[in-house]
Amino acid sequence: MADAPQQTLPPQVLAILRCPLTRSPLRQEGDWLIAEKPEDAGLRYPIRDGIPVLLMEEAKCPEGIQDLDSFKATFAGEIHQID
């Protein structure tokens, strides 16, 4: 089975999307949306069938961070909202 082709989200969509935790803008890299803040340590959210999946349960932490609780503790001073 061949992989589905990567879909680029329209710039108007990317302009309004935000990370649900950090509230920072997102950028697309392949089939992932990556939060721009904190610098070089943004959470990653998948894009499935052209649809951004911005659920905390689906977020992938940056390398070296085990889980969302660790992410929140590490970057508490840099994120706008901690649930």
Write the DSSP string, the chain: -PPPPP-PPPHHHHHH-B-TTT--BEEEETTEEEE--STT---EEEEETTEE---GGG-BPPTT--SHHHHHHHTTTT-S---
Q: What is the per-residue pLDDT for 46?
A: 97
Q: How far apart are CA 67 and CA 11, in angstroms?
A: 30
12 phi-psi bin (left φ>0, alpha ψ -120 to 50, beta other): alpha
For the chain, give every domain's residue range.
Answer: 11-72
> In Å, what is the CA distance from 78 to each residue of 16, 43, 63?
20, 13, 18
pLDDT along the chain (83 residues), means of 10: 70 94 93 90 94 95 92 80 45
Q: What is the pTM assigned to this prediction? A: 0.83
